Amino acid sequence: MDRFIIDGGRRLKGAIKVSGSKNAALPILIATLLTDETCVVENVPSTLRDLRTTFRLLESLGKRVVVKGSTVRVLSTGSLKTQAPYEIVKQMRASVLAAGPLLARFGLVRVPIPGGCAIGLRPIDIHLKGFEIMGARRIADQGDIILSAPRLRPAAIALRFPSVGATQNLMMAAAATPGRTTIGNAAREPEMGDLGKFLEQLGAKVHGAGTAKVTIEGKAKLGGARHKVIPDRIEAGTFLLACAATRGRVKLVGAEAAHLGAVLSALKKAGAKIRSGKGWIELAMERRPKAVSIVTKPYPGFPTDLQAPWMALMTTCTGFAKVVETVFENRFLHAAELGRMGAQIAVSGRAAVVAGQERLSGAPIMASDIRAGAALLVAGLAAKGRTTIARVYHIDRGYEEIERKLSRAGARLARQK
Ligand code: UD1
C-alpha cells in the first residue's frame, strides 16, 4: 500500500492548477443514465479513484464510457440494467445516486443499502422519503432496497435536512418525471447548480438549483448534452490551507473564489492576505495564524470537507481555536493522528479545542478518510522533519496528482509504493 514521505517545513510557492470538482462530476456522470443520447462531460478529474468507480458503475449498468484526459463521453449500448452491484456501492456511497434516474425512467431499481463509513452512519432515509412522496413503494431484500413505481409523479417535497445526495437524487428523478416537482430545504452547494445546468442541457427545465427551493419541470424523454464541470472548491481550499500552514504564497489557477466564501473569510481572520479574480485565487501568509473558531454547516457555511484541514492549520495558531462539526457525527479521527505530531487537541462530542503550538514535528501517521488524509498532508507539509502518511488510498479518492501538484509548488513529497 502506498505511503507519502514528506520532508516538511518548506513554504509552498508558485502556481497550482485546480482540477474539476469530484463532487460535481459524480452526480453529473450518473445523470447520463437519464438519457440514451451521447453526453460529453469536460473538466472531469478522471484519474481519481471515485471517478474510476463511477465509470465502472455506469458500465455495469450498460453504458459505454470513453475517457480522454479530462473529457468523458458516455454512450448508450442498448438497454440499461436497473440493479447497481453491491461490490461498487460499498466502495463509493455516491453510487446510490443511480437510484433516482433509473427509478424515474424504468419504474424499478434495486440498490444495495450503503453501509456506514469512518465518518458516520450516513443513512439514506431523506432520499427514500423523497421517492415515496413521488409515489414509489419500497421493500428491503437481502441488504438491497427495491424501489418501484409504475410511473413517478411530480410532487412538492420538503427535506428534513438539506442533504447533498438526496437533493441530487431527487433532482435527477424529477428531471425524467413529466410535470413540476419542487424540492424545499434543498442543499445549496455549488454542485447543485452544476447538476441543474446539466439537467437543463438534457432538456429539463430547472429553476433555483443551488438555492433552498429547486423547481424542476421534467420530461419523459431527455436528450444528450455537453457540459464543463465547475472547479473543485474542496481541492482548492485544501491547497489554500496547506499554503497558509507552510506560511507560503501560492496562486491557484482555475479556482472559483465565490464558492469558498466562508473559508476565505476564516483565512483572512487568521491573517492570510488573499486576492482573487476570474478563475484565480492568490494567498500569502507571513506569520503564525491567529486562532479562528469555525462551525461546519451546509453551504454557504464552512464546509465539513475542509474541517479536518482547518484543524491542521489551527494546530500552529496563536491561542485557542474551537472547531465544531455539525454535519457528520464522527469526523475527528484526524485529531489523534495530529496529536502524534505534537498537536494539542481536546475532543468532546462534536467539538474540538485546539491549543496552538509554535510548530508540529514530523511523525508516522495514518489517513482514515479522504479529508482526514488531506489534514495530515497539510500538517506534514508544515511540520519540522519527516512525516510518513500511510493509507494514502484515502487521499487518492479525492486529490488528483497531488504529489506532482504540491512538488511543483516547492513541497518535498514522494510516494513510496
Ligand atoms: C456530500 C459530499 C461529501 C460532503 C457532504 C456534506 C459527494 C459525493 N459527497 O456527501 O463530500 O462531506 O456532501 O457536504 O458529493 N443524512 C441523513 N439521511 C440522508 C442523507 C444524509 O441522515 O438520507 C445525513 C448524513 O448522515 C450526514 C448529513 O446528513 O450526517 C450530510 O449528508 P449529505 O449532505 O447527504 O452528504 P453526502 O451527499 O453523503
CATH number of the domain bearing residue 138: 3.65.10.10
Q: Quick one: how many helices (H) and strands (E) in the chain?
A: 14, 23
Is 298:163 a contact under the CB 8 Å cutoff? no
Residues 6+ apart with CB under 8 A from 42: 20, 70, 71, 72, 226, 227, 228, 229
pLDDT in tens, the chain (417 residues): 899 999 999 999 999 999 999 999 999 999 999 999 999 999 999 999 999 999 999 999 999 999 999 999 999 998 999 999 999 988 888 999 999 999 999 999 999 888 656 666 678 999 999 999 999 999 999 889 999 999 999 999 999 999 999 999 999 999 999 999 999 999 999 999 999 999 999 999 999 999 999 999 999 999 999 999 999 999 999 999 999 999 999 999 999 999 999 999 999 999 999 999 999 999 999 999 999 999 999 999 999 999 999 999 999 999 999 999 999 988 999 999 999 999 999 999 999 999 999 999 999 999 999 999 999 999 999 999 999 999 999 999 999 999 999 999 999 999 999
Distances 338 to 91, 163, 198, 271, 382 between C-alpha atoms, Å: 26, 29, 40, 22, 12
Residue with cell 500552529: 316
Residue 297 has phi, psi (to 5 degrees) of -150, 160
| Residue 378 CB less than 6 A away from ligand 1 | no
315, 354: one domain: yes
Same domain, yes or no: 220 and 300: no
- pLDDT of the residue at 122: 76
The finding on whether 393 has its CB within 6 A of some atom of ligand 1 is no
In this structure, are 138 and 240 located in the same domain? Answer: no
Indicate whether this model's pTM tops 0.85: yes
Nearest to 405 by CA among 251, 280, 290, 287: 251
Question: Same domain for 170 and 246?
Answer: no
Number of domains in the chain: 2
What pLDDT is stored for residue 116 in this prediction? 59
Centre of ligand 1 from the C-alpha of residue 123, in Å: 9
Atom of ligand 1 nearest to the CA of 303: 14
User: 62 in helix, strand or coil?
Assistant: coil
How far apart, in whole angstroms, are the C-alpha atoms of residue 276 and residue 261?
11
- Of 204, 228, 252, the residue at which a domain comes to its end is 228
Of 173, 199, 228, the one marking the end of a domain is 228
If asked whether residues 11 and 101 sit together in one domain, one would say: no
Q: Could you identify the atom of ligand 1 that is nearest to the CA of residue 191?
A: 15
| Integer Cα distance of 195 and 176 in angstroms | 14
Identify any residues that bridge with 365 across adjacent strands, giving them in sequence order: 389
CB 63 within 8 A of CB 75: yes
> Distance from the CA of 34 to the center of ligand 1, in angstroms?
22
The rounded distance, in Å, linking the Cα atoms of 160 and 125 is 10
- Say if residue 363 is in the same domain as residue 217: no
Sheet order of strands, 412-416 included: 364-366, 385-390, 3-8, 412-416
How high is the pLDDT of residue 143? 87
- pLDDT for 416: 93
Q: Are 20 and 194 in contact (CB under 8 A)?
A: no
Question: Nearest residue CA, atom 19 of ligand 1?
Answer: 124
149 with 162, same domain? Answer: yes
Cβ of 181 below 6 Å from ligand 1: no
The pLDDT of residue 119 is 63
Q: Which amino acid is at 350?
A: R
Tell me: do 60 and 37 sit in the same domain: yes
Is residue 243 among the annotated active site residues? no
CA distances from 15 to 229, 253, 280 (A): 21, 7, 10
Indicate whether residue 166 lines ligand 1 (CB < 6 A): yes
Residue where a domain terminates, one of 200, 228, 256 = 228
CB 82 near ligand 1, within 6 Å:
no
375 with 269, same domain: the answer is yes
Which residues span the domain enclosing 53?
Answer: 22-228
Nearest atom in ligand 1 to the alpha carbon of residue 168 is 38
